[in-house]
Amino acid sequence: GAGVSQSPSNKVTEKGKDVELRCDPISGHTALYWYRQSLGQGLEFLIYFQGNSAPDKSGLPSDRFSAERTGGSVSTLTIQRTQQEDSAVYLCASSLRAGVHEAFFGQGTRLTVV
């Protein structure tokens, strides 16, 4: 696609449920990032994928969070047993390759845990 696409745009879920967030990066971009943006906070790094290399998971806040990237393209961020503090906007970005820092962001998924 022309840009980074994320789905769903909005997700309301009950506390304790699992959610999956999807990101479709720009075609040809080998680097993919997930960030979380909470109200009044900056972008918090979650996880980074580069090609077929092992992902950098150093930003994941707990073992309830996981992500995968299939075929070097689409990525899914999964949050298990959601908590209210997980409510935030989850942003996905892609860049041409590792070391090319200009990132192109999707519109984000607004997650609300009730």
Which residues of this protein are in contact with other proteins, per CB under 8 A? 4, 31, 33, 35, 40-43, 45, 48, 50, 56, 58-59, 91, 93, 98-99, 101-108
Q: Compare residues 42 and 71 and give the one whose CB is closer to other proteins.
A: 42
Helices (H) and strands (E) in the chain, counts: 0, 10
Q: To the nearest whole angstrom, how small is the minimum distance from the Cβ of residue 81 to other proteins?
A: 25
Report the C-alpha gap between 110 and 105 in whole angstroms. Answer: 14
Q: Compare residues 23 and 113 and give the one whose CB is closer to other proteins.
A: 23
Q: To the nearest whole angstrom, how small is the minimum distance from the Cβ of residue 34 to other proteins?
A: 9
Q: To the nearest whole angstrom, how small is the minimum distance from the Cβ of residue 76 to other proteins?
A: 18
Q: 47 and 35 in contact (C-beta within 8 Å)?
A: no
Q: Compare residues 8 and 16 and give the one whose CB is closer to other proteins.
A: 8
Within 8 A by CB and 6+ apart from 32, the residues are 23, 25, 48, 49, 50, 69, 75, 92, 93, 94
